[in-house]
């Protein structure tokens, strides 16, 4: 049987003032092609379906379309665990009803983790959602003195599975966790914060394959322990050069194959003078981080660059004379600004000073007049 391992879709994650929806739907179309070409029977989604516990209607619609395509159109079994970004309760709603349609969701850890049996019972998949040490202590009170860390919590949970799992089967465990030795990307912010909660690969001893989520870089931690990585590049830096894709497992011999899936829109960083950057023809369709060496980063510069490059996300300018770091402005920062914030930044960029109280008062009067005129018209 062929099984596909993926993770960290992060539906609902914003990008600049827009969304990744077009890129995520492009990934889903690629996923469909791989499933049909390779005759895949099941898909393992190892957590972080969504980017936040409370998500937009658009994000829910993408997930609904994905699950419908996989389970109803293609007839594959989709096994999903909650990640640290997901709302376990929301993700697990109607889980028993959905299981009948081939969508198996485990949002919250239970003492007895029921395996999803595949290939006529020859393969058992144990879905472990993201969980904390406290959750394990509550489920295994007899082991409370032993559970002193996330590592020992995972050991307790996996030991309980190992006590009853059938060694004659291909036993696969899914987990959303930070494993010691994994290489992080800039978009793995929550993983960096949770480094103290990292576990060793040894907690997963005895399983034929460990399908991990949480880390966005595809990588092999041990021969049978692997991160599929995120399908899109969610940050600049090291993630720009990463090859994104999915992992294909053949349960006949437990061989693994990484299948690259080029994203609809790549990420790139570029540096040069404004004229040099404006002349570039290779940056038009990418998410961009631009460093302009002969201009200060400001609203005018950002507007000029965005007219040429619609997908620019971060702009860095030359250093101010009294600062060691470059000036910077992101699309997200601009989106958070109100009119007064923009006025203050304009004053700082053009006159090198803060507006006075009298100027702020006059500006407020002009805004009020402008709003009133707009309503009257």
| Same domain as 234, residue 271 | no
The tally of domains found in the chain comes to 2
**Mean pLDDT calculated for residue range 124-151:** 95
Tokens 């011999």 belong to 253
User: 254 and 355: one domain?
Assistant: no
Output the pLDDT for position 79: 98
Please say which residue of 260, 294, 310 terminates a domain: 260
Rounded Cα gap, residues 222 and 347, in angstroms: 56
Q: Which two tokens stand for residue 127?
A: 């879905």
Q: Are 179 and 198 in contact (CB under 8 A)?
A: yes
Q: Do residues 236 and 296 share a domain? A: no
Same domain, 120 and 29: yes
* Listed residues 242, 260, 278: the one ending a domain: 260
- Range of 206's domain? 2-260
- Give the pLDDT confidence score for residue 333 in this predicted structure: 58
Residue 322 — pLDDT band, cuts 50, 70, 90?
Answer: very low
Residue 355's pLDDT band, with cuts at 50, 70 and 90, is confident
Over residues 281-289, mean pLDDT: 92
The CA distance from 332 to 327, in Å, is 15
Q: Which of 260, 284, 305 is the last residue of a domain?
A: 260
Task: Dump pLDDT digits (tens) for 75-89.
Answer: 999 999 999 999 988
Same-domain check for residues 225 and 295: no
The more confident residue out of 49 and 193 is 49
Average pLDDT of span 150-177 = 97
Q: How far is it, in rounded angstroms, from Cα 277 to Cα 307?
A: 13
Q: How far apart are CA 326 and CA 105, in angstroms?
A: 46
Q: Are residues 74 and 157 in the same domain?
A: yes
Tell me the C-alpha distance between 301 and 280, whole Å.
16
pTM: 0.84
**357 and 298 in a common domain:** yes
Cβ 143 vs Cβ 121: under 8 Å: no
């Amino acid at each position: 049987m062929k099984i596909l391992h993926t993770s960290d879709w992060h539906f609902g994650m914003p990008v600049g003032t827009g969304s990744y929806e077009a890129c995520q739907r492009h990934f889903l179309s690629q996923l469909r092609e791989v499933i049909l070409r390779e005759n895949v029977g099941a898909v393992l989604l190892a957590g972080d379906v969504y980017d936040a516990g409370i998500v937009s209607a658009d994000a829910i619609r993408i997930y609904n379309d994905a699950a419908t395509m996989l389970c109803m159109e293609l007839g594959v079994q989709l096994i999903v665990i909650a990640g640290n970004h997901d709302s376990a309760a929301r993700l697990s709603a109607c889980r028993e009803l959905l299981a009948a349609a081939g969508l198996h969701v485990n949002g919250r850890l239970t003492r007895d983790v029921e395996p999803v049996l595949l290939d006529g019972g020859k393969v058992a998949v144990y879905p472990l959602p993201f969980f904390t040490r406290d959750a394990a202590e509550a489920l295994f009170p007899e082991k409370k003195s032993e559970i002193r860390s996330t590592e020992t919590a995972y050991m307790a949970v996996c030991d309980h599975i190992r006590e009853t799992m059938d060694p004659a089967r291909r036993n696969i465990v899914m987990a959303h966790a930070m494993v010691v030795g994994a290489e992080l990307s800039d978009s793995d912010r929550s993983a960096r914060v949770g480094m103290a909660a990292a576990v060793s690969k040894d907690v997963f001893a005895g399983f034929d394959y460990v399908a991990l989520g949480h880390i966005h870089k595809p990588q092999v931690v041990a021969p049978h322990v692997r991160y599929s990585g995120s399908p899109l590049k969610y940050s600049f830096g090291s993630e720009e050069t990463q090859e994104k894709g999915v992992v294909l497992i053949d349960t006949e011999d437990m061989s693994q194959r990484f299948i690259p899936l080029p994203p609809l829109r790549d990420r790139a960083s570029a540096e040069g003078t404004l004229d040099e950057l404006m002349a570039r023809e290779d940056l038009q369709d990418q998410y961009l981080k631009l460093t302009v060496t002969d201009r200060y980063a400001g609203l005018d510069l950002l507007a000029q660059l965005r007219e040429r490059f619609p997908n620019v996300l971060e702009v860095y300018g030359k250093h101010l004379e009294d600062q060691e770091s470059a000036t910077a402005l992101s699309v997200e920062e601009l989106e958070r600004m109100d009119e007064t914030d923009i006025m203050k930044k304009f004053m700082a960029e053009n006159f090198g000073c803060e507006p006075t109280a009298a100027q702020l008062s006059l500006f407020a009067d002009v805004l009020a007049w402008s709003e009133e005129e707009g309503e009257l018209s």
